[in-house]
Structure formats: C-alpha cells, structure tokens
Amino acid sequence: TSRGWLTAERVALLPAGALVVNVARGDLAPSSVLLEGLRAGGLGGVALDVYASEAALAEALRRGERPEDPEALAALELMARPDVLCTPHNAFNTEEALARKAGQSVEQVVAWLERGAFVWEAPG
C-alpha cells in the first residue's frame, strides 16, 4: 500500500529545500509529515491537489469548524502557509467525464419531471 509512503525518515533523505508535489493520493504524503518537514526547514515548499483525511477536512471546511482529525488539522495549517500551494483536484474533469455528468444531469431532470423522483437520491 502507498498509504503513508512519505515518512519523516524519507523527508530527511531529500536534499535541503526540496519541493514535494502530490497530485496522486492524499494519503501518500500525510499532511503532518509535510508540515513537520516545512517547520524543520528540510522542505522548501509543498504543492498539493489531493489531501490526507479528505472527508474530515471537507466536513470541517463546510461547517467552518476546527477539525478533530489530526491530519485534517495539519492540512488546514499547510493551506495557511506561504510556502504551500493548494489547488482543487480536477482529474475527473476530462471531456468524457463532463459528457457523462451532463447526461446524468439530464436523466435526473427527466426522472423528476416524469415521476417526481430522482434516479439517484442525494445522501442524507
């Protein structure tokens, strides 16, 4: 498994001032490890479009609350740093994915108009 692959020990092996870019999976590089690497001065910067503990982070951001999950909290601290670039993950926005989403949206509207119910109900 790649979960937690980037450890403090691996960060210590990087050249001083190294930049870490994670566009793969959030759990590959835990936010706490990245934050400590920046605080210690070993890392020169971080760029992310995926985040560890993404569900807990998203929930905290939606509610405007401080997350209880330590990785989500570390991610918020990363986002506030000037040496960190955070962007939304947009790998799902291919031409095919957009066409599929548009088709599903039309299906939902048609189902609502014809039956008064959606094909896929929104979770609770």
In terms of domains, do 14 and 75 share one? yes
Query: What's the chain's length in residues?
Result: 124
Residue in 54, 59, 77, 81 annotated catalytic: 54
pTM for the full predicted model: 0.72
Close Cβ partners of 47 (under 8 Å, ≥ 6 residues apart): 19, 20, 21, 22, 23, 84, 85, 86, 87
Whether 116 is covered by a domain: the verdict is yes
How many domains is the chain partitioned into structurally?
2
Tens of pLDDT, residue by residue over 58-74, are 888 889 999 999 999 99
Q: Are residues 21 and 63 in the same domain?
A: yes
CATH code of the domain containing 27: 3.40.50.720
pLDDT tens figures, 52-61? 888 888 888 8
**Has 54 been annotated as catalytic?**
yes
- Domain coverage including residue 123: 93-124
In terms of Cα–Cα distance, which of 111, 23, 77, 48 is closest to 121?
Answer: 111
Per cent of the chain over pLDDT 90 is 65
* Residue 70 sits in the same domain as residue 99: no
Catalytic residue among 3, 10, 25, 62: 25
Q: 25 catalytic, yes or no? A: yes
